[in-house]
Amino acid sequence: MVINLAGVLGFQIETMKLDNDLKSLVSILKEENPQMRKEAAKAIGQIGNQNCLKYLFSVLKDDSWGVRAVAVQSVGKIAEKKDKQSRAKIIDLLDDEDWAVRCAAIESLARISGPESIDLIAPAVMDTDPHVKETAFNVLKSINDTH
């Protein structure tokens, strides 16, 4: 009999999220497996309260680009508008080595800073990666269309 370990872990993480079991999810952020850390960061973001931010901040420098990308997305979802600490953490990731992290940082920064983020996002239109260019262009267009 073959057991799908990823499916079992995913179910456990989903159950922890539903139970708002932040302590257990935070402990998973320290696991060796990057997929587990990524899923825990996602679940913490879905819990969505301000107390979760400090735990997400702790994995914004993770070795895995997938964990960093999900963590910055989660910060962008739960940080309050104009949250200076979250804004500073996100800005640091605009120059991340991985394009997916840069894209997530652009979207998260726009979400919490709106038009104030234009000057920080605009240089990404000249990024060497086409995904980042497109994300920056779309985010700037969205900010312009809504403000």
Residues 61 and 96 in one domain: no
pTM greater than 0.95 (yes/no): no
User: Looking up tokens 């995913």, which residue turns up?
Assistant: 10
Residues 107 and 141 in one domain: yes
Residues 13 and 66 in one domain: yes
Residues 91 and 40 in one domain: no
Of the candidates 57, 78, 99, which is a domain's last residue? 78
Let me know: does 22 contact 46? Beta carbons within 8 Å: no
pLDDT of res. 20? 57
Give dist(CA 24, CA 70) in Å, integer.
18
CATH at residue 138 = 1.25.10
Over residues 25-47, mean pLDDT: 93
Q: What is the pLDDT of residues 10-23, one digit of tens each?
A: 556 565 554 557 88
Let me know: does 52 contact 45? Beta carbons within 8 Å: yes
Of the candidates 78, 112, 134, which is a domain's last residue? 78
Number of neighbouring beta carbons within 10 Å of residue 26: 18
Q: What is the share, in percent, of the chain residues with pLDDT greater than 70?
A: 86
Residues 24 and 48 in one domain: yes
Residue 52's domain spans which residues? 1-78
Residues 58 and 95 in one domain: no
Q: Per-residue confidence at 1, pLDDT binned at 50, 70, 90?
A: very low
Residues 138 and 90 in one domain: yes
Q: Where are the alpha helices (DSSP H) in the chain?
A: 5-18, 22-28, 34-47, 53-57, 65-78, 84-92, 99-113, 118-121, 130-146
Let me know: does 72 contact 60? Beta carbons within 8 Å: yes
Work out how many domains the chain is built from and give that number: 2
